[in-house]
Structures are given as C-alpha cells and as structure tokens.
Structure 1
Amino acid sequence: MSWLQANAMNVLYVVVIAIAAYWVAGMVKRLVIGFGKSHEALDETLFHFLGSIARYAVLVFAGLVVLDRFGIETTSLVAILGAAGLAVGLALQGTLSSLAAGIMLIMFRPFKVGDFVEAAGTFGKVDSITLFTTDMITFDNQHIIIPNSEIWGTKITNHSHHSIRGVDMIASVAYGSDIKKVKASIAKVLKAHDHVLSEPAPFVEVETLNTSSVDLLVRPFTEGAHYFDVKYSLPQAIYEQFRKDGIEIPFQQIVVHNAI
C-alpha cells in the first residue's frame, strides 16, 4: 500500500484545512481593515498592518494543526520559532522600536498630516506618517525622514493644534519714551494688519527693563494659517510706525561720567 493510500484521509484533511484557513485568514484581514475604515478617528495604515498580522496568525495556527494531524510534535517547533523570533527581535530592536512608536503615533495622534510640528530637533510640515518613519517638509523645502522612535521619545510641539495662535514678539524703545504713546503706536499697527484678530484682544505690556532699552511684549492673535505672516511682517511695520511717531529705537550704548 502506497503512502498516499495510507494517508488519504490525512491529505484530504490537510487540503480542507488549507482551503478553510486561507478563506478565514482573508476574511479576518478584511474585517480588521473594514473596522479601521468605518471609523474616521482610526488610521487605515495601522489597521492594514494589524489585518496582515491577523491573517498570518490564522495561517500559522492552521499550519500547526496540520503538523499535529501528521503526528509531528509542535511544542518543540513552537519553542524553536519563539527562540528564532527573539533572535530576530534583538537584531531588529531599533526597527521594532520605530514600529512600536509608529503605532503609538497613529493611535494617539499627537499630530496629523499637514500640521506644523517641532519634534526630534526638526521644525516643519508633516508630509506623511508611516509605521516606521515620519516625513517632514522644512521651510527651506528639505524633505526630512525621521524614525518614529526619535519622535515618540522626545517633546512634540504641534503648532497647528489650535486654530487661533498668539504670536509673541519684543518691541524695544529707549528709556525716556512715553509708554502710552508707544502702546498707541503699536496698536495702530495691529489694528491695520489684515490677519490680526480683534478677539482675543492683543496683549501689549512692558516686560523687561533692559540695560539700554525698555522691552515690551507684543502678543497679537491670529488664525494658525497666518501665524508666520504675522510673525515676520509685524516687526518691520512696528519699526516704521515708531519712526513716523518719533519714538526712539534704542541701541547699545555706554554712558561715561567724568569724575570732578
């Protein structure tokens, strides 16, 4: 009697298990991905990854069942696979760390694509978020690819989280300047700027009595999309208004008194 005849039932069993496992694995993957797509708050990239893991888990389980059917001891095989998995994990610990960080970033969403973010020593616009890396475009148009492990382990500043932003800057005037006049001059500039909001009201107050100047903190509020326009256009506008209003702008100086 041939081996095939002796094991006909086992072969048929393997074929049925393989077909069923392939079908179930595909169905489980589609269910996981479909769950991710059905909820806008969940990230599809993560659920595609989880769906693939679920599919392979079903196939591996089916393989163990088939081996057991033929009388092959699977306990030792599982132990060998576990040891091999540990060795691979140790060899790829940096990559796995980025993978774990990528899952955390996708799940907890400290930022999203399109946000202006400062993280891992880089400041720019988030271009894409994958399971292993985050791509950012800097303001000088550089494409920076950062491992997720470096981002998750450091402070993340999301400049796009709130729709309205305060823009802090310092306006310095000479000692002896009329502070009420200075504030009025700054108020003219803020009121005339197209992107400075009236509510919340801008904040303008003396912050520091410096060595050669009186420093005022100027904090107008604007929509996040206009943050950089306000930040880089107001200082020049304030400077020009100070000149028009005859307000002295200080410079570093040393006053020497002659002894009598």
Structure 2
Amino acid sequence: MLKQLLDSLLSRLRSYFDIERMGLLLGELLVSVIIAIIVLTLFYLIWRAVSWVVTPRLKRRFDKTSVAFAETILKFGMFGLGVIAALGAAGIKTAALLGSLGVAGLTIGFALRDTLSNIISGILVFMDRPFTIDDLVDIDGKYGRVDRITLRTTRIVTNDGKMLAVPNAEIMNKTVTSYTNFPHLRLDIAVTVAVTEDLDRTRMILLSLVQDDPDYMVEPLPRVVVTQLHDYNVTLELQAWIENERQHVRKSLELREKVFKALTAAGVEMPFETIQLAPHQVTVGMRNGENGAPAPDGRPG
C-alpha cells in the first residue's frame, strides 16, 4: 500500500518536472520575449524617425513649449502602442489584459492619484500658458529660468545653477510671477532718508543714475515717488523701466549699489532702524541671615 502511494507521488512529480515539457515552455517563453523586444525596438525606431522628421517642422511653426509638449505626447503615445503591440506579438491576449486593467483602474488611480494630478495639471499648464520655456519666473519663492515642461513637473534652473523640479499640481495652486511675459520691466529701488533732507535734491540725485544709462527706457520716464512717511524718515522709491527684461536681476543689483554710493557721496542722511538697549538697575537682596548677613536685630543668622 505504501509502495503504491510512493509510486503515485513520484509519477506526479515526474509529470510536473518533466524536463522535455519544461524545455518546451522555456523555449516558447524565450521566443515570446525575443519577439516582444523586436517589436519594441521597431516602435522605438519609428518614434525616432517620426521625431526626426516632424520636430524640425514643428519648431519652424510653433514655440518651444508647444514643440516640447507635442514631443512628450508623441513619445508616450508611441510607447503605449509599442507595449500593446509587443504583448500581442508575444501571444498575450491584450483585450483581456486591458479589460482586467479597466476593472483595477479605480485602485490604480487611487494609488497614483498624486501622479495623475500632476499629469492633468501639466496639460492645464500647457493650455493656460502662465509661462513658456526660457521664461524667468518665480513660483512660490522659487526663482529661475524655465528649462522644460513635462507632464509631471516643470524644471527650473536657478541663478546658482540648481535644477528645481516643481510638481505641476503645485504650480496650479501657487502664485506664478513671470518676469518675461512682456517686453519691458520696471525696477523699483526703495531708499529711506531723514525727514530733514531736501527731497527735490535727493530726487535729482536718484534720477541722474538712470537718465544717462542706455539700458533704461526714456518712455515711460523714470521717476522718484514718496511711498511712506514716518516720524523721523521718508521712504522714496526710484522707478525705472529697463529695455531688456532678462537683465532685471543684474540691473537691480547694480542700481541698488549706485543709489547707496551716490547718496553717501552727496551726504544724504539715510537713517536705519536701530534698537537702543537701556540698562535697568536691579537690586538683588538676600534673605535675613543668609551667607552670614546680619539679621535686623544684629544677631548672626
């Protein structure tokens, strides 16, 4: 009885681990993998060829942002078609696979909700166009040049050479400041002078810093306005438009330094906020009799 049971078990194990059968299965799997790789390679070559032909024509007719977005859509579209074709060529029933993915779509969508949110936001960023590639922008305190706009993130290169990948969903919910949407940009340099200073004289000194500089526009005219009045000082603001808005950082730093040097050389008093610390006398007493101090009645404690 035991021998028959062992023989039956060995027979089943041989059927499961049949070398010839396993060899056939591995051979079929290897052929399917090779076919899938060939199909994916063909789709990759097709995408490269289409991109090589279409991209130059798009660049002649559209801006960089539109071309980059079209390339992204083309790349992901060809990749998706390539995967479906490769699975079909490998003998996998893609219709049944897509059906099962449809059933599991809710679960997948919930797990990838942040990624899907960024992708949808990327499409909205392209349609809304708050900025384009090469624009100088400030997104929630992150300043730099827009290098790329992908479906998931927007890449920004900062002035110190760092690459920031800002999620598109964050861009849709933050304030975006663009410094290059318009051909010209105004610089505002604030300075505080004492109330005893001659404002007309100070105004002439500030205007002379930009009137002879070709980087600043003649129209609209540069001007100096009073923005704040205090008890002991007045805040003035030099407002000047620059021709090249992409130079606003450099010109702003230069102009701020020129303002300080010019007013200092002219003897204009520029009061700064100060904090005066007044000493406060504190009397420290001891308890009667502590540390050998005499008690009120003269007796030692």
Residue 114 of structure 1 and its aligned partner are, at CA, apart by 1.4
1:219 has 2:239 as partner = yes
Question: Alignment RMSD, CA only?
Answer: 3.5
Q: Any idea what SS the aligned residue of 2:269 has?
A: coil
Which of these residues, 231, 240, 248, is aligned with residue 261 of structure 2? 240
1:210 has 2:230 as partner = yes
Which of these residues, 183, 188, 200, is aligned with residue 168 of structure 1? 188
1:40 has 2:62 as partner = yes
Output the amino acid matched with 1:176.
Answer: T
Identity over aligned pairs, percent: 25
TM-score scaled to structure 1, two decimals?
0.70
| In 1: Cα distance, 2:80 partner to 2:258 partner | 62
Output the amino acid matched with 1:221.
Answer: W
Output the amino acid matched with 1:224.
Answer: E
Q: 1:49 to 1:143 in 2, by over 3 A?
A: closer
Given that 2:207 and 2:223 are in contact with CA atoms closer than 8 Å, whether structure 1 keeps it comes out as no
Residue 126 of structure 1 and its aligned partner are, at CA, apart by 1.2
Q: Any idea what SS the aligned residue of 2:104 has?
A: helix
1:157 has 2:174 as partner = no
The one-character-per-residue Cα deviations of 1:207-258 (angstroms, maximum 9, x if unpaired) are 1112431111211110202211221111221222223333222234699xxx
| In 2: Cα distance, 1:178 partner to 1:254 partner | 26
The one-character-per-residue Cα deviations of 1:34-61 (angstroms, maximum 9, x if unpaired) are 599385157234334544548957997x
| In 2: Cα distance, 1:228 partner to 1:252 partner | 26
Residue 106 of structure 1 and its aligned partner are, at CA, apart by 2.2
The one-character-per-residue Cα deviations of 1:157-211 (angstroms, maximum 9, x if unpaired) are 1111112101112121111111111111111112233422211111211111124
| In 2: Cα distance, 1:164 partner to 1:105 partner | 24
TM-score scaled to structure 2, two decimals?
0.61
Given that 1:195 and 1:226 are in contact with CA atoms closer than 8 Å, whether structure 2 keeps it comes out as no
| In 1: Cα distance, 2:275 partner to 2:266 partner | 26
Given that 2:119 and 2:152 are in contact with CA atoms closer than 8 Å, whether structure 1 keeps it comes out as yes
Which structure has the larger Rg over C-alpha atoms?
2
Residue 140 of structure 1 and its aligned partner are, at CA, apart by 2.1
The one-character-per-residue Cα deviations of 1:102-155 (angstroms, maximum 9, x if unpaired) are 112223321122111111441111121111111111122222112211112211
- Report 1:119-134 matches (<5 A): 119-134=139-154
What residue is the counterpart of 2:159 in the other structure?
139
Which of these residues, 104, 127, 136, is aligned with residue 84 of structure 1? 104
Q: Any idea what SS the aligned residue of 2:114 has?
A: helix
Output the amino acid matched with 1:108.
Answer: D
Q: 1:57 to 1:208 in 2, by over 3 A?
A: same
Q: Which consecutive residues of structure 2, in runs of 5 or more, have no partner in the other structure?
A: 1-41, 88-92, 277-301
Which of these residues, 201, 205, 212, is aligned with residue 181 of structure 1? 201
The one-character-per-residue Cα deviations of 1:60-94 (angstroms, maximum 9, x if unpaired) are 7xx9xxxxxxxx9x7x9876432222222221111
Aligned residues: 220
Q: 1:253 to 1:244 in 2, by over 3 A?
A: same
1:229 has 2:250 as partner = yes
Q: 1:248 to 1:46 in 2, by over 3 A?
A: closer
